[in-house]
Amino acid sequence: MQSNLRGDLREFLEHHRIHEVECVIPDMTGVARGKIVPKNLFLSEGKMHMSNALLMITVNGEFANFERFVGPSDPDMVCIPDPNTVRLVPWAIEQVAVVIHDCVGLDGKPIGISPRAVLRRVLRLYEARGWRPVVAPEMEFYLIAQNKNPHEPLRPPLGRAGRHEAGRQSFSIDAVNEFDPFFQDLSRFCEMTQLGVETLVHEVGAGQMEINFSHGDALDLADRVFLFKRAVRETAFRHGIFATFMAKPMEHEPGSAMHIHQSIVDRESGQNIFSLPDGSASPLFFNYIGGLQKYMPQAMPMFAPYVNSYRRLSRFTAAPINVRWGYDNRTCGIRVPNSEPDGRRLENRVPGVDVNPYLAMAATLACGYLGMVEQQEASAPMIESAYDLEYELPRGLEDALKALSKCTELAEVLGDSFVQAYCAVKEKEFETFSQGITAWEREHLQLLV
C-alpha cells in the first residue's frame, strides 16, 4: 500500500519538476508545522520523523505541558504523507509542492491528539453507521493595512483609488473591485491548488470579504480551508497588505465567522438522511439539531479557540449568542437554509474564522452525531430575532474550557486524550494572555482607581 502511495506522489513530483517539498502538519492551533526537504530525499525516505511535542505548541510558540501527553523523553512520531493532499505552492520562486502529513506512533497507530486524527475518528463513527457527512464552509476575513506595530489598531487598506474604505460597503461589487489585483492573484492561486473556491462577496465590515467553498468530504474541506488561509495571507503579502483571520480584528467592525453547512447522506444510496421519501424533514434531522443545541456550549473551545473569539460572540456584533435554530433565520446559531429535500442541510453559524478547521469540523459533526444516536429533541424553531435572547454560550475562553473538560460525551467521541491535551494548550495560551496589560486598562484604570 505504501509503495503505491509513494508512486502516486513520485508521478506528481516528477511531472511538475518539483525541487522541494513542504512536509506539513496542522498543529492544535491550525498552524502549519513541519519541514521543507529536497524532492529526492522526500521520495527516498517516504516519511519523516518529528517530535510529538510539535502538536502541543501554543499559538504564541510555547509548549503546553507536553511531557504529560507525549512522554518525558520527548519521543518522535512518524509523519506519513497523504497523497490526496499534494499540491503546488504557486507563490514559491522555484517549483515547490506541499503535502499534508498524518501523524502515527512507531507502532503505526494514529496519534490521537493530532487534529487530522481527531476528525478521522469522528468520520469513522459516521461510517460505522452507514453515514457520510457533506460539508461546505464559508470563510470571512479582513484585508487590512500593514501594521508594523501590533499595539496600534488595525484599519482597512488603501484600494486602487488610493483611499481607505469609508463606511461599510456590504455586498458592494465596486468595493471588491478596489482590490482586483489581489483577488485575481488569489483566484489564480486557488485554481492552481484546486481548492474548490466558488463565490466571492464583500461582507458587512470595512475591508471584510467572504469566500465560499463547494461542498464535499469533511476531511478534504478541512485540508482546503487550511491551505486557503495560507494562500490568502501569502497573496496579501505580495500586494503590500495583510489579511487576517482573527475573529474580531477591529473594535467597531463585525467579527468574521466560518459558517459550516452540513448534511448527512447514506453511504450506499447517497440519499440525504435529513429528508424522508415524501420530502419532509426526517426525525434524524431534528435529532441532529438537538445534538448541536445540547453540545455546542461544551464544544465551544473548538468553535471559539482564543480570547479574541468571544469578542465576536456578542449581541452587539450581529453574531450568534445562543443555540436557537430557525428556518432561514440568520439571527440564530443554527440556520436551516431554504432548499430542496435532497439538499436539506443546516448551517452552524457559531464558529469563528480563527478556528482550526479540522477541529471545528470534528466538533460540529460530533455534536450532530451525538444528537442522532441519543435521539435528542430539538426546540421549536425561532420565528423572530434571536439576538435579544439570553446568552446560552460561554462568555469567555476560561468558562468554555471548563465546560469542555467536564463533557464525557464529547470526550468519548473526540478522544479523551485529545480533549485533555487541547484544553492544556488553550489554558497555556490563556495564562500567557492574562499576563499582558491592555490599552483599555491603562486608559481607564491607570489614573482613576
Could you write out the DSSP letters of every residue in 215-253?
Answer: -B-HHHHHHHHHHHHHHHHHHHHHTTEEEE--SS-STTS
Q: What is the pLDDT of residue 111?
A: 95
> Has residue 345 got a pLDDT over 70?
yes
Over residues 343-348, mean pLDDT: 97
Q: What are phi and psi of 52, to 5 degrees?
A: -55, -30
pLDDT at 198: 86
pLDDT at 151: 85
pLDDT at position 315: 86
Q: What is the mean pLDDT of residues 80-106?
A: 95
Minimal CA–CA distance to 206: which of 166, 265, 153? 166
Residue 4: pLDDT above 60?
no
State the pLDDT confidence band at 45, using cuts at 50, 70 and 90.
confident
122-170 tens-digit pLDDT: 999 999 999 999 999 999 999 999 998 888 889 988 887 777 776 676 6
pLDDT surpassing 60 at residue 2: no
> Does the pLDDT value for residue 30 go beyond 80?
yes
Residue 173 pLDDT: 82
Sign of torsion over alpha carbons 47, 53, 58, 60 = negative
Q: Is residue 1 scored above 80 in pLDDT? A: no
Quick one: pLDDT band at residue 16, thresholds 50, 70, 90? very high
Q: Is residue 3's pLDDT more than 60?
A: no
End-to-end CA distance of the chain: 68
pLDDT value of position 171: 66
Q: Percent of the chain having pLDDT more than 70?
A: 97
Cell of 302: 473548538
CATH match for 2-110 among 3.30.300.30, 3.10.20.70, 3.90.79.10, 3.90.1150.10: 3.10.20.70
How distant, in Å, are the alpha carbons of 4, 91, 269 from that of 48? 17, 24, 39
Span 377-407, pLDDT tens digits: 999 999 999 998 999 999 999 999 999 999 9
In percent, the amount of the chain with pLDDT more than 90 equals 79
Which CATH architecture fits 123-443?
2-Layer Sandwich (3.30)
In the predicted structure, residue 373 carries a pLDDT above the cut 90: yes
Residue 321: what pLDDT? 95
pLDDT the model gives residue 224: 97
b/e for 431-448, b at 16 or more Cβ within 10 A?
eeeeeeeeeeeeeeeeee
Per-residue pLDDT, 7? 64
pLDDT at 66: 78
> Domain residue spans in the chain?
2-110, 123-443
The set of long-range contacts for 147-151, using a CB threshold of 8 Å and a minimum separation of 24, is 147/242, 151/439
Cα angle value 200/299/430 (rounded, 5°): 90
- Average pLDDT over the chain, rounded to an integer: 93
